[in-house]
């Protein structure tokens, strides 16, 4: 199949990284290296901050990524240099923190480099976090610093009331967990900024994802690929639904679209 794709964007968790194994499937590693050899620019688009990358396998840390999008689109790094960092509006942060303090809500907040818990998390929540990232953030009450990405544990009623007061924030509902970034910030807007710098169009982009925060990039990329293990919203937004991550889904999708012509597995 002929394609005009120049740049490939990949979510991490559930797309190229399998939590069950705490590793990248062999077929995924082979596919990423072959895509690079075939001349495509390869970019990560994740909601992780940099600290949450530190325990990923050596493959990930040594791979020659052309760029990395962190914090759900708020931070952009090209050639190991941060070229964009957008923080949540200070007024909105004050409102969020006020509600957190009043209702004793749990919040993970991050900038480009590190993330923190606003208070000691219950064991069941911190254990889930460790299972995902093999680390647990330090507990540090928020003290006015710039925040690029926030995860807020709140019930729907509380969140609906809070939303009415926020003027400059983007919110993604992960079901009982809300991801907050600055207004107009998501993975798709960061992708648009990167390809503009490189002289490409969205028609020349393929994006792979599986989660709620991948929906916009799957919709707006030239080709959006949702993993078979992804949420229904991601699948509905995509042009193509691949097999599951553990069933060589990413590699098979690359073959399907002609990005890789060789049989690697």
In CATH, what number is assigned to the domain containing residue 120?
A: 3.30.1240.10
Cα–Cα distances (Å) from 133 to 126, 226, 239, 246, in that order, read 10, 22, 29, 19
Please say if the pLDDT value at position 1 is more than 60. no
Our count of domains for the chain comes to 2
What is the structure's pLDDT at 263?
A: 84
94 close to 154: Cβ distance less than 8 angstroms? no
What is the structure's pLDDT at 175?
A: 82
pLDDT tens column, 179-238: 999 999 999 999 999 999 999 999 999 999 999 999 999 999 999 999 999 999 999 999
pTM here is 0.95
Please say if the pLDDT value at position 2 is more than 80. no
Nearby residues of 37 by Cβ (< 8 Å), 6 or more positions away: none
Average pLDDT over residues 77-106: 96
Q: How confident is the model at residue 264 (pLDDT cuts 50, 70, 90)?
A: confident
Q: Are 111 and 153 in the same domain?
A: yes
Q: Are 79 and 190 in the same domain?
A: yes
Q: Distance between CA atoms of 49 and 64, rounded to whole angstroms? A: 18
Q: Pick the range with the lowest mean pLDDT from 1-10, 46-55, 249-258.
A: 1-10
Q: Are 81 and 201 in the same domain?
A: yes
52 close to 133: Cβ distance less than 8 angstroms? yes
Domain end marker among 182, 216, 237 = 182
- What DSSP element (H or E) covers 125? helix 123-133
Give the CATH number for residue 39. 3.40.50.1000
pLDDT tens column, 116-128: 999 999 999 999 9
Q: Are 69 and 190 in the same domain?
A: yes
Q: How confident is the model at residue 96 (pLDDT cuts 50, 70, 90)?
A: very high
The whole-chain average pLDDT of the chain stands at: 96
**Domain membership flag for residue 62:** yes
Domain coverage including residue 112? 90-182
**Domain membership flag for residue 263:** no
Q: Are 46 and 127 in the same domain?
A: no
Among candidates 110, 65, 103, which has minimal Cα distance to 56? Answer: 65
Q: How confident is the model at residue 265 (pLDDT cuts 50, 70, 90)?
A: confident
pLDDT tens column, 128-167: 999 999 999 999 999 999 999 999 999 999 999 999 999 8
Q: Are 52 and 78 in the same domain?
A: yes
What is the structure's pLDDT at 170?
A: 92
Q: Are 78 and 105 in the same domain?
A: no
């Amino acid at each position: 199949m002929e394609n005009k794709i120049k740049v490939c964007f990949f979510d991490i968790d559930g797309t190229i990284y399998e939590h069950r194994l705490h590793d990248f499937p062999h077929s995924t590693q082979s596919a990423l290296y072959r895509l690079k050899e075939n001349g495509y620019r390869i970019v990560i688009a994740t909601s992780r901050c940099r600290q949450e990358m530190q325990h990923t396998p050596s493959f990930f840390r040594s791979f020659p990524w052309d760029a990395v999008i962190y914090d759900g689109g708020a931070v952009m790094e090209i050639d190991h240099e941060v070229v964009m960092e957008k923080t949540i509006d200070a007024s909105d942060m004050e409102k969020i923190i006020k509600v957190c303090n009043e209702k004793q809500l749990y919040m993970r907040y991050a900038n480009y480099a590190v993330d923190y818990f606003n208070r000691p998390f219950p064991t069941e929540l911190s254990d889930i976090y460790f299972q995902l990232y093999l680390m647990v953030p330090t507990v540090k009450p928020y003290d006015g610093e710039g925040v690029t990405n926030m995860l807020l544990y709140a019930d729907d009623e509380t969140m609906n009331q809070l939303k009415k007061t926020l003027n400059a924030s983007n919110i993604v509902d992960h079901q009982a967990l809300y991801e907050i970034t600055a207004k107009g910030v998501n993975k798709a807007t960061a992708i648009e900024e990167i390809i503009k710098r490189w002289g490409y169009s969205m028609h020349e982009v393929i994006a792979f994802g599986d989660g709620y925060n991948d929906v916009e990039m799957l919709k707006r990329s030239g080709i959006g690929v949702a993993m078979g293990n992804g949420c229904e919203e991601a699948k509905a937004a995509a042009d193509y639904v691949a097999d599951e991550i553990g069933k060589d889904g990413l590699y098979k999708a690359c073959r399907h679209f002609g990005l890789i012509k060789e049989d690697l597995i």
